[in-house]
Structure 1
Amino acid sequence: MTSAVYGQADAFAIAAYIAGRRGDASWSGHEVRIATLDGAPVAGYGGHPIRPDCSLAQASDSDVVLIPPIFNDIEETLAAEMPLVSWLKKSSQSRALLASTCTGAFLLAEAGILNGRRVTTNPAFSTLFAQRYPAVHLAVHERLIDDNRVICAGATTAYLNLAVHVIDRLAGHDLAVATAKALSIDRHGESQRPYFLFIAPKDHGDEKVLELQGWIESNHTQPIEINDMVKVAGMSVRNLSRRFLAATNLSPRQYLRRVRIEAAKRLLEGPTASVERIAEAVGYQDARAFIRAFSAVAGISPGVYRQKFRTS
């Protein structure tokens, strides 16, 4: 992701500029370099060229290593980037501070660096991450997690939060706050949950579960109980729960809630309607139950969500 590479480089350049204007030596001595495997330019996402300052071999003395997001097929990229993974393993054996943004965490995890650690990544890839790296403790709702020698930032533009956090670690709170203000970003990013986009898994191959998913999506505005879902699926409660969880990583009740909350988000983003009317429109008879469910999924209340995302 081209913006992550140059965005962080810009953030560090802004920190250096502010420190220089203040006569503050806290950032002096930090050399920021962009490195690629062999020191040759590479194409970032969208085809934009990323021009490095050095090769990975020349960057082996780095005190801090930042990994940008993967914006490509994750598993294909990991297979193609084994030299980088090997280099990261060696870096982890030094006292270098390692950090990733978004799906860049896959590269750290592939190197075994995240085992036993608590980390975050892009929520859209959390299922794949959990399957590949069961020894890693994933806290995907958090925007940034600092585990001493390893820092992981969440989805996409969290690269700026990570850059400011690294400035804090290296040069102190005052310069970090000043840089955050210059970048017009919050010093402490909120939870990622308001930005979660629920994309229902449909490629699992279980036709019965797929049929029930479609039925839930078509009928979520009506009162639905587990017995209704059992009847549509034509199987026992136990068998339905087992197969649905295996296929979607959610129970049937959880899936129904996610479908309803995603529908509520769309209504909250549009012309103003009362929370009570929106609750009823997505299948909740009790507005208080809707507010509790929405807050549990989105991390904020329906009213706050509306303020953040509604159409002008």
Structure 2
Amino acid sequence: MTEIIDIGLVRYPGAQVSAVLGLVDLFGIAGNVASKRPEDLPRLRITEWSCDPGLAPVTPGVGQDVLLLPPALGSPIKAEAAAPIAAGLRSAHGQGTILASVCAGAFLLAETRLLDGRRATTHWAYADELAARFPRVVLDPDQLIIDEADILTAGGLMSWTDLGLKLVDRFLGPSVMLETAQILLLDPPGREQRFYSSFAPRLNHGDAAILRVQHWMQANGGKEAALAVLAGHAGLEQRTFLRRFQKATGLTSTDYAQRLRVNRARELLQFSQQSVDAIAWEVGYRDPAAFRKVFHRVVGLTPGEFRQRFHV
């Protein structure tokens, strides 16, 4: 049976309608491209959720894979209007839904408090306001897209195209993404091609205790992977935790943490000037030789080879 990926576009008050419609078209084109491939690729099912009191309400579905917050025209959404929507988003995320925002959509996403202590981006013109309203968000407005697996944020007003292509890449693969970009005459984001083998963890497995640990590991970049600590966050005995974690994610907790660290290292190797040893330390390895060994095992290239190919 063909897998179905449910992507919900949230039309909150002030949301840019043209971006919503553009994303519907982008995902539709990607779906058509995928349908012509010989392999059995997932099918994208796109729905629109209206949270704008001026529009006919649309009841959110259950078990969405992605909820995407488009950019806004005008001022970012205020806390009072955002509160009920943010509560629903937080609940969905707790059940395994990936959340994504574009431009000022980051304000609504930040109202969930799920960005507290985590990296995020928004339009440069909104950076000061977002930092003032949400001081616990680790804001990096220099980045076009920040992909933290379960939460993605995109910066500029038109970066919905980049975010859309990133999601196509994640669910349908790089070749479908590239053909979709060519059809739309879009430049594919550099990171889209670089991250074709990026770590996309399972989040919709239904094990709430393990999902809670996954979110915590994502927030700290996989730097804390001690079994006792992870089992404590799950509220489980250690053997039970190990068994349930591997069943839910398909990986041991150690391998999962290593992949989170390597994902961050890839980004630093491509976009920063830091030395490999400094990057190893930043992502949580005190032994650069161990970092190089893990990186090569996961990526298939040494850190130096990866930087030589993809540094911009």
Q: Does 1:96 align with 2:97?
A: yes
Distance in 2 of aligned mates of 1:175 and 1:88: 29
Aligned mate of 1:27, from 42, 45, 51: 42
Task: Name the residue aligned to 1:111.
Answer: 112
Letter in 1 for 2:155: G
1:66 aligns with 68
CA contact (8 A) 2:19 2:160 kept: yes
The Cα shift of 1:189 comes to 6.0
Q: What's the TM-score once normalised by structure 1's chain length? A: 0.53
Q: Does residue 1:36 correspond to 2:50, yes or no? A: yes
Q: Which amino acid in the other structure matches residue 31 of structure 1?
A: R
Residue number in structure 2 paired with 1:305: none
Are the aligned partners of 1:143 and 1:189 in contact in 2 as well (CA < 8 Å)? no
Aligned to 2:20: 5
Tell me, in whole angstroms, the C-alpha distance in 2 between the residues paired with 1:41 and 1:160: 26
1:180 maps to what in 2?
181
| Residues 75, 101 of structure 1: alpha-carbon distance in 2 compared, 3 angstrom cutoff | closer
Shift of 1:33: 0.5
Q: What residue ranges of structure 1 are gaps of 5+ in the alignment?
A: 43-50, 191-312
1:74 Cα offset (Å): 2.2
Residue identity in the other structure for 1:55: T
- For residues 108 and 62 of structure 1, what CA distance do their matches in structure 2 show? 16
Change (3 A) 1:41 1:25: farther
CA offsets, 1:251-280, max 9 Å, x none?
xxxxxxxxxxxxxxxxxxxxxxxxxxxxxx
Letter in structure 1 aligned against 2:40: A
How far did 1:127 drift?
Answer: 0.4
Task: State the alpha-carbon separation in 2 of the partners of residues 142 and 176 from structure 1.
Answer: 21
- What residue number does 1:170 align with? 171
Contact 1:116 1:137 in 2 (8 A): yes
Whether the aligned pair in 2 keeps the contact of 1:144 and 1:189 (CA below 8 Å) is no
Q: Give the 3-state SS of the residue equivalent to 2:71 in structure 1.
A: coil
Matched residue, 1:136 = 137
Q: State the distance in 2 between where 1:10 and 1:41 align.
A: 24
User: Gaps (5+ residues) in structure 2?
Assistant: 1-15, 192-312
Cα distance between partner residues in 1 of 2:149 and 2:33: 26
Q: Equivalent residue of 2:162, what SS?
A: helix
> 1:41 offset after TM fit, Å?
6.8
Pick closer, same or farther for the CA change 1:114–1:98 going to 2, 3 Å: same
Cα RMSD of the aligned pairs, angstroms, is 2.1
TM-fit CA distance, 1:99: 0.4
Which position in structure 1 is the counterpart of 2:121?
Answer: 120
CA contact (8 A) 1:161 1:189 kept: no
- In structure 2, the CA distance between the partners of 1:174 and 1:127, relative to structure 1 (3 Å rule), is same
Q: Structure 1 residues 41 and 8, CA, compared in 2 at 3 Å: closer, same or farther?
A: farther
Partner of 1:16: 31
Give CA deviations for 1:78-108 in whole Å, capped at 9, x if unaligned: 3223211111111121111110000101111
Counterpart CA distance in 2 for 1:4 and 1:89 is 23
Contact kept in structure 1, 2:19 and 2:70, CA below 8 Å: yes
SS across alignment from 1:98:
strand
Number of corresponding residues: 176
Is the 1:101–1:121 Cα contact (8 Å) retained in structure 2? yes
- Give the structure with the larger helix fraction: 1
2:45 alignment partner, SS class = coil
TM-score (norm 2): 0.53
Which amino acid counterpart does residue 50 of structure 2 have in structure 1? T
1:10, 1:146 → 2: CA distance? 22
The aligned counterpart of 1:55 is 59
Matches of 1:116 and 1:187 in 2, distance apart?
A: 29
Residue 153 in 1 paired to residue 168 in 2? no
Counterparts of 1:10 and 1:122, CA distance in 2: 23
8 Å contact 1:15–1:27 — kept in the other structure? no
Task: For 1:32 and 1:66, locate their aligned partners in 2 and report how far apart those are by CA, in whole Å.
Answer: 11
Equivalent residue runs for 1:183-262 within 5 Å: 183-188=184-189
| 2:77–2:107 contact (8 Å) kept in structure 1 | no
State the one-letter code of the partner of 1:65: L
| Deviation string, structure 1 residues 186-206 (Cα, Å, up to 9, x no partner) | 11169xxxxxxxxxxxxxxxx
1:123 offset after TM fit, Å?
0.7
Q: Deviation of residue 17 (structure 1)? A: 1.1
